[in-house]
Structure 1
Amino acid sequence: MEDEELAKSLLVTQQPGNIRISNGFGSNDTGASASGVTTVLLLSAFVTACSAFAGGFVAGYSAPAESGIIDDLGLSVAEYSVFGSIMTIGGMIGAVISGKLADIIGRKNTMWILDIFYIMGWLAIYFAKAMMPLSVSVAYLIGSVINWRALALIGAIPCLLLLFGLFFIPESPRWLAKIGREKEFEAALQRLRGKNVNISDEAADIKDYTENIQKIPEDKILDLFQQKYAHLLIVGIGLMVLQQFGGLNGYAYYMNEIFELAGVPSITGFIVVSIPQIPAITLGSILIEKFGRRTLLMVTVTGECLGCFLTGLSFVLQNLNWWMEATPALMLSGIVVFEAFYSLGVGSIPWIIISEIFPITKKGSAGSICNAVNWFCNWLVSFTFNFLVEWSPAGTFFIYGSMSFLGVLFIAKLVPETKGRTLEEIQASLTHILQ
């Protein structure tokens, strides 16, 4: 009952096409401030985007840099597997501590600390061993001919922009309101909205929202391990396992190796694979509202399964010396299909479902558990990929495809539709499908 009352105090009404949220961000029907977009607000958005871009660059770095790093530093398969997967260890640690750290020292200070670690990491890669004449490799996406050390310096650029940008943006007004720093809260909000804008209504909304949030009992991870949350945890953790065991990071971290095995020029492969991803993401944001989370997730996981099968089949044909002239095209088709369907739904929908199935009092703990599981599975896939490929390239992708097939069955049996449903309706549907 307490969860329901708190949820009602935070979510006023929800109707198709007209959502009114009392979230501390304005008082109009969409929750948006009536003020215009200010320079400080744009700068804050840009700085935040730099943080996201820096994380994405880390995830994509090892694919184009793989051959150069192995050749220049003389790494074995096991050593490069550690390098290619070690980012996920940091991800697991960050998933557990970053939320609490942001609550204690603030969002802006947390970004300062994380950005310094980003820069130190890129410089450590750049100065690995001694500087030496380097062979060239191909940069991811744009196909510029650069070496892996230069690529590491490029990765540091958004980190530096973030570092300097933090000097010019305010702390999160919500966090300042939460810890009771009233004057700084109002000053930060005024900077974001513009000095001539009346922020009194929005400030009052934020204070009301903060007071409601503080009434929520302390969120403890152990509280989730009760029978009433078991179904939700199975769904949440299962979706994280499904997302990673479909083989995304085998593709993402070692794509250059896949191209070499299939005899495809790296620059051609990276361009062909990259082109459909942005349209797929855009299309996914439209289809998810039209068809719902569960349906689109089943379709896109099925597409992943097809992509893995095509990639595996290309290696089977290569091993048998059949249809050799078409093998590279078949392999590229498999990767494009996989990446497109991942961008269309598998990459985002599991997180959306997780955010919608747990009560508001348990979202933090559930998010931490699911995030840690996601990073662990990420590490497992990225660490084992090279060993699996040495065993059998075709077998590797058939294994990933089989995991996606099992994922389709998991979704069909256990995952509820959450679009347009209340928490009570979602829990009722879970009870129904598990009977």
Structure 2
Amino acid sequence: MMEKQNKILVYVVTIVATLGGLLFGYDTAVISGAEKSIQAFLIDSQGLSSFLHGITVSSALIGCIIGGAISGIVSSRYGRKKALIIAGFLFLLSALGSGNPEFLFFERGTPSIGLLWMFNFYRIIGGIGVGLASAVCPMYIGEIAPAEIRGKLVSLNQFAIIFGMLVVYFVNWGIADGQSIEWINEIGWRRMFVSEAIPASIFAGLMFFMPETPRYLALQNKDEKALSILTRFNGAEKANEILVAIKKSVKTTTKGKILSYGKGVIIVGVLLSVFQQFVGINVALYYAPRIFESMGAAKDASMLQTIIMGLVNVVFTVIAILTVDKWGRKPLLITGSIGMAIGMFAISILAFQGIIGMATLVFIIIYTASFMMSWGPVCWVLISEIYPNKIRSQAIAIAVAAQWAANFFISSTYPPMMEFSSGGTYLFYGIMSVVSALFVWKMVPETKGKTLEEMERLWTK
């Protein structure tokens, strides 16, 4: 009976923490329904360039880089729990400000360069929240979860990210359904952004009632509090055993400098993050309705096709959750890379031949499904678990900042790359998929079933 109660508590805390992941997905994907209206209202109306359009669509990613970079400082100084509460309030501010960027300083409905920058400012604020949540949510879950189900629980965060994207696809479609382009360009896009305020408020409120992670408390020499939380999750006997291992790992290196365990662990984490973005997944997510419209779909149909893609993403993320602790991390990553390469190379060939239609949709779904069952959740699992306790927060901050920098580069260069060569753009993402498979095969260690404290042995040999 006790074991069951412990598991329930672990899952409850995990689910609340994954609301940060849901907001991560919601905030990054809400732009997919609004980007054409933003282009009409703030870009085309002022005769601005496609480059500025790309920057505006991707501006939240600037905040993501900042949030990822400061996540180590915030989570180390204030704790994992408070870092997530801060992220929740940033999501709320961004939602309200992005939907009404004229607040206080500008006349509503009158486009200007100043208003464009204010909109981007609020998107960057939300991006900082995303950057914090993207680093701290998997860290928080990973530091609480038992080793035997850690992969599954951290993967739930990716499920929440994808579910957040699916929710916002439905919200965007519901707002736009049956409405004129003029109404969407004037009012609809605002409601899309403001809708995020609801889950943001719920997340920030619930996190006040969640515990701090025992590993953070141990790092702060608050052993009694750490033991109390470990006991609630694992039972008294197991809790003492875990605390001894944590304290031993903390004392392994007294300085805790980022290179205490060598360059290899940092390089692997950064490259995992970079490859997760260089395969081009966020291009498919941010520009999904536009991609489907370019295939000849009507506005409403393109939104529905985006929902179909979102459902596929959810299904294949569940597959990853169910298999990551059974099959291991490396087999899933390599299999996913192969599937992504097949999808992107096929889309590239179709684009070079000028063929658009159902075949393109099928290969986009093959590509995104392959990503969602592999690199989507498993990259976050590895980033949350490969680092030793003493350097985890700083190392995750570096990896996550690198991930968002790569995301910004890929997303902001997509419009001009497509203007130059659509087939060549997708060919590049296909090549990156192949290279990512080789990287995993040669450099990434298998971590299935290992405790966080055992990870140190991978890097101290």
TM-score range, shorter chain: 0.7 to 0.9
| 1:18 aligned partner | none
SS at match of 1:140: helix
| 1:73 aligned partner | 42
Whether 1:411 and 2:447 are equivalent positions in the alignment is no
Q: Distance in 2 between matches of 1:416 and 1:172?
A: 25
- The 3 A distance-change label for structure 1 pair 423 and 124 is closer
For 1:11-410, list aligned pairs within 5 A.
Answer: 35=6, 37=8, 44-74=13-43, 76=48, 77-129=50-102, 130-132=107-109, 140-141=169-170, 143-146=173-176, 147-169=188-210, 171=212, 175=216, 179=220, 208=244, 211-216=247-252, 217-223=254-260, 229-264=262-297, 265-318=301-354, 327-354=356-383, 358-410=387-439
Q: Distance in 2 between matches of 1:100 and 1:72?
A: 38
Q: Distance in 1 between matches of 2:441 and 2:98?
A: 44
| 2:136 aligned partner | none
Displacement after TM superposition at 1:204 (Å)? 5.2
- The 3 A distance-change label for structure 1 pair 115 and 420 is closer
Displacement after TM superposition at 1:244 (Å)? 0.8
Displacement after TM superposition at 1:121 (Å)? 1.3
Q: For CA contacts below 8 A with separation 6 or more, give which structure has more relative contact order.
A: 2
TM-score, structure 2 normalization: 0.70
Kept after mapping to 1: 8 A contact 2:350/2:360: yes
Kept after mapping to 1: 8 A contact 2:227/2:240: no
More helix by share: 2
- The 3 A distance-change label for structure 1 pair 407 and 189 is closer
Identity %: 27
- The 3 A distance-change label for structure 1 pair 249 and 108 is same
Displacement after TM superposition at 1:408 (Å)? 2.7
Q: What's the CA shift string for 1:282-305, capped at 9, x where partnerless? A: 222344445433232222111111
Q: What's the CA shift string for 1:224-244, capped at 9, x where partnerless? A: 5xxxx3444443333222211
Kept after mapping to 2: 8 A contact 1:92/1:372: yes
| 2:131 aligned partner | none
Q: Distance in 2 between matches of 1:184 and 1:212?
A: 17
Displacement after TM superposition at 1:104 (Å)? 2.1
Question: Any gaps of 5 or more consecutive residues in structure 1?
Answer: 1-27
Q: Distance in 2 between matches of 1:291 and 1:173?
A: 28
TM-score, structure 1 normalization: 0.74
Task: Give the number of equivalent residue pairs.
Answer: 377
**Comparing 104-113 and 299-308, the one that deviates more:** 104-113
Q: Which amino acid aligns with 1:106?
A: G
Kept after mapping to 2: 8 A contact 1:66/1:257: no
Q: Which amino acid aligns with 1:159?
A: A
Kept after mapping to 2: 8 A contact 1:297/1:346: yes
**Comparing 207-216 and 250-259, the one that deviates more:** 207-216
What is the root-mean-square deviation in Å for CA atoms of aligned residues?
Answer: 3.7
